[in-house]
Structure 1
């Protein structure tokens, strides 16, 4: 009988193989329903972490930082705002326009250990940097053997 507490090593190798196969099979396909719908993913974000904080970098060029609405509720971070239309130079004819304008709302689910009392946001050169502290009592703790 196989123990539920211990898996044979080859099981995890099979999971890794399956993940590689799926990534290859789905290459080029949309990664989310929103992306598949053709709605632009704006703002683009990068998310990282350190031992004591989660960092969210939202790329919002052309957006007034005072017009951004940032909320964190029950581990869900929402960045909302509006970017006005780009105005061409006088007498300039536009042949193509790819810049998104209008209202936007981007929602991210964060790890369970974020602390809503430790949040700060800074805007510089079109990049919104949000730092969210992690709850110390939920972080992994090294236990010394006596």
Structure 2
């Protein structure tokens, strides 16, 4: 017969983690519906290698000239304004889930960026940003002297 030991402390910790997560989602949802902005828009993926970071950002329906990118030290800021679609007169909106309006997203990267060599490419609503690591921030191998 298999017995499972339940640790009440572990269950309580899991309960509070779940509670915090749900509370955060509810708060974000309420604020987003009231103020029309989300701290999680646009959605991004951030990948890092030893020498660079790659940020992929989804911005469907936008044009490259509607997006501003700024880099300072280890902070990447993406700012833009997505135009609302124009509706024909007499059209009533029953549900609106697609984001329209101004957004500002700032991401903290794990290293300082070489600002002179950042490359951004925008194709079919997908923004790809290559952010090379500053030379002075790259890890350096230390030689060991045998004594």
Which structure: greater strand fraction?
A: 1
Q: Kindly tell me the number of residue pairs found equivalent between the two proteins.
A: 127
Greater share of residues in helix: 2
Within 2, Cα distance between the matches of 1:75 and 1:138?
A: 11
TM-score by length of 1: 0.70
Check 1:35–1:50 CA distance in 2 against 1; reply closer, same or farther (3 A cut): farther
- For structure 1, the residue ranges without an aligned partner over 5 or more in a row are 1-16
| Distance across 2 between alignment mates of 1:66 and 1:140 | 36
SS of residue paired to 1:28:
helix
State the superposition RMSD in angstroms.
2.9
3-state SS of paired residue (1:37):
helix
Asked whether the equivalents of residues 114 and 133 of structure 2 are also in contact (C-alpha less than 8 Å), the reply is yes
State the 1:142 CA deviation.
2.7
Contact 1:86 1:99 in 2 (8 A): no
Contact 2:52 2:131 (C-alpha < 8 Å) held by counterparts: yes
Deviation at 1:113, TM superposition (A): 2.9
Residue of structure 2 equivalent to 1:3: none
Where 2:118 maps in the other structure, the secondary structure is strand
The aligned residue for residue 116 of structure 1 is 115
Between 34-43 and 75-84, the greater mean CA deviation after superposition:
34-43
SS in 1 for 2:140: coil
Do residues 37 (structure 1) and 36 (structure 2) align? Answer: no
Q: Distance in 2 between matches of 1:34 and 1:119?
A: 32
1:50/1:121 CA distance change after superposition, 3 Å: same
